[in-house]
Structures are given as structure tokens and as C-alpha cells.
Chains A and B, each alone.
Chain A
Amino acid sequence: DTGVSQDPRHKITKRGQNVTFRCDPISEHNRLYWYRQTLGQGPEFLTYFQNEAQLEKSRLLSDRFSAERPKGSFSTLEIQRTEQGDSAMYLCASSPSQSYEQYFGPGTRLTVT
């Protein structure tokens, strides 16, 4: 069991650029969640998938954000035309079907300059 992995761990980009993050969940975990954590705050829910279906998106997820999980395994989160306010830690978590227990990855820290 290698746990949830995320890539990259750190990303520095200039305002206006597009970025994409990847999350690999624990094998056979059906649910995959994305959260965003800003400095001094708890994680905030962004979106989640049940297999390849995206079931809910937070109002925090503006039109510039898109997430996919094309084959029900890994997921990507893309941010287009990044803004300084997008600077945060992006956390991915997965859970087995019918379980409330989530396993978190190490996160991707995004800095928009």
C-alpha cells in the first residue's frame, strides 16, 4: 500500500499560466476528493468523484477550475489563467466504497507570482 500520491509537490507559476496537478489514489478506492487549504485555515472541499463520475463541485470551484478522473483511477485538477488568490495547498484524498474514512496525500503547494 503506497498511499495517496500527488504530483508535483510544489509548483511555482506566473499569474495567467495554466497548471495541472495529478493525484493517484490508493488502489481500488472508489472515491476521490479534492480540497484546498490556505495558510492558517482548514481544508475546504472542492469536488469529488465516485469512480469516474464527478458527483459534486463546490462553489469555490470557479470556471477556471476543472477536474477529471477519466478511468476511475488517477485524477487531474487543472487551473486555467491562474490568479494570486489560487496560491494554496491542494490536497487529494481517497476512500473505499461506502467508507467515510479518507486517506490524504501529501498535497501540492501552488504559488502564483
Chain B
Amino acid sequence: AQSVTQLDSQVPVFEEAPVELRCNYSSSVSVYLFWYVQYPNQGLQLLLKYLSGSTLVKGINGFEAEFNKSQTSFHLRKPSVHISDTAEYFCAVSDVGTDSWGKLQFGAGTQVVVTP
């Protein structure tokens, strides 16, 4: 069984400051990892994904994440945030190669609030 833990429910940050959102997962099989962003009253938009290859992945809007297999983590970072980055961010995992491949297990989310 999988589980995804987002360690911070809310992260306040000043505009132009860096931000890091933490995500840890557990799974008995190999996983693919994703970060999604949700703006108020909207669906989820994919920020970035890790499937294989380089453990540092870059996504849209200046976000990047690093996969750490030994620590089972996939933390999301942005070096300088904008007011428009205020949103809810979700980490998600999917089993690789099982009958349930593709199905996403989400964390509880981290609300990022950017202030001037």
C-alpha cells in the first residue's frame, strides 16, 4: 500500500523569497512521482513529474523537485516566488507496473500563501 505525507499544511512566504514544500512517500513497489498545483475553484495542473533518469526535475513556472530514493522524498522548490504562486500544492505517487498503474495517491496538500 502507498502513502504520501506532505509535512507542512501551510507555508507562508514573502514575495521573491525561496520556498520548499516537503513530500515523503512509502510504497512496496517502484513509484512515479508528481507535483500538482490547484488554484482556487479550479482543477489540478501538473507542475512536474519524475518517471526516471535525472533525480532533479524541472517543471513549469520555475519549479523544480528532487527525487531522493534513500529518503523516499520528493521535495518541491522554487528559488523566488510570486504572488501568483499562492495556491494549494499536492504531491502524488503512482505504482509502476502493477495492475493499478496510473492511479494516483495524493498527499493532503500544502497551502502556499505569498505576501508582498
Residues of chain A at the chain B interface (Cβ within 8 Å): 4, 31, 33, 35, 40-45, 48, 56, 91, 93, 95, 99-107, 109
> Of B36, B46, B103, which is in contact with the most chain A CB atoms at under 10 Å from its CB?
B103
How many residues from B make CB contacts under 8 Å with A?
A: 26
A107–B49 contact, CB under 8 A? no
Q: Which residues of A contact B106 (CB under 8 A)?
A: 35, 42-44
Q: A35-B104, A45-B103, A103-B46 are in contact. List 20 more A-B contacts (CB 8 A).
A: A33-B102, A35-B106, A42-B4, A42-B6, A42-B92, A42-B108, A43-B44, A43-B106, A56-B100, A100-B49, A100-B51, A100-B101, A100-B102, A101-B46, A102-B46, A104-B44, A105-B43, A106-B41, A107-B42, A107-B43
Q: Which residues of B contact A102 (CB under 8 A)?
A: 46, 102, 104
Q: Which residue of B lies closest to A10 (CB)?
A: B41
Per-position 1/0 for B46-76, Cβ under 8 A of A = 1001010000000000000000000000000
8 A-B pairs with least C-beta separation: A42-B106, A104-B43, A104-B44, A106-B43, A43-B106, A42-B90, A42-B109, A100-B32
Rounded to whole angstroms, the CA-CA distance of A93 and B90 in the bound complex is 15
Rounded to whole angstroms, the CA-CA distance of A103 and B41 in the bound complex is 16
B43–A48 contact, CB under 8 A? no
Give chain B nearest CB distance to A31 CB in angstroms: 6
